[in-house]
Copies of this chain bind each other. A is one copy, B any other.
Amino acid sequence: MKNKPLILISNDDGIESDGIKALAREIRKFAETIVIAPATQQSAVGHSITISNPIRAKKNLIDKNFYGYAVEGTPADSVKLAVRNLLKGRKIDLLISGINHGSNTAINIIYSGTVSAATEGTILGIPSIAVSLASFTYNDFSTSAKFSAKIAKTVLKKGLPKGTLLNVNVPALPEKKIKGVLVTKQGKSFWDDRYDSRLDPNRREYFWLTGKMASLDKSIEFDQKAIEEGYISLTPVHYDLTNYEMLDEIKSWKIK
């Protein structure tokens, strides 16, 4: 018992989602596992944190005799509250965020609550992994949960450099159809989106976001194309957003 690693699990689909339950079931086989996740669905919240309002946490049944904490907040709130308060003083060996329903590749990384929870873990000094299953409809988390356990064990052994998380995307395929694992870069694909303009029953206009991902990545060296081709994608993601190549260019503007 003493030698078991302590793994914190969070997500953005909420503590009641199938993905987090499947993940916890697999991780509990080898680690002391604590689930602290948003009480409700938080997709596309990005790296949102709650500062102007209080948040609450309550015990929540995850599985038979296994409880977690549901946090009334965002994914980043959940991780921050876990580390700064609920698990204060305990050494968390690894954080896993997921398993998300839907891929988090290319531009979606910046909108993603799943990645955001792992980013917050990284900021707080915990090796962190985000795991997503590349489908909104495929409900079989068994392959992605098994792979999560495998990658978790590897990261526990190898570590991750300060400030870098691992963003994992698993194709929505049965295990034997997955072609392999690729280390990838964040793709350039983005949303070709638009707003549906509609009228409410009182004849006032409202807008609803819709659209589809414009797939711009032609090579499996990019995350989005890798999963489209049936590979599991691993992308090292950091939050140093400086475009270093531009520093000299802007200096040459000589703005005073």
Which residues of A line the B interface, CB within 8 A? 41, 43-52, 54-57, 76-77, 80-81, 84-85, 107, 109-111, 116, 119, 123, 150-151, 154, 158, 161, 163-164, 166, 180-181, 183, 185-186, 190, 193-195, 197-198, 204-209, 234-244, 246-247, 249-251, 253, 255-256
From residue A216, how far is it (CB to closest CB) to chain B in Å?
A: 12
**Copies of this chain in the oligomer:** 2
| In contact, A81 and B48 (Cβ under 8 angstroms) | no
Query: Given that A47-B110, A185-B244 are contacting pairs, would A236 and B250 also be in contact in the complex, using a CB cutoff of 8 Å?
Result: yes
A45 closest partner in B (C-beta): B48
The residue from B204, B239, B250 contacting A241, defined by CB atoms under 8 A apart: B239
Q: Are A109 and B186 in contact (CB under 8 A)?
A: no
Pair B54/A207 contact, Cβ less than 8 Å: yes
Known: A46-B47, A209-B50, A253-B154. A247 touches B183 (CB 8 A): yes
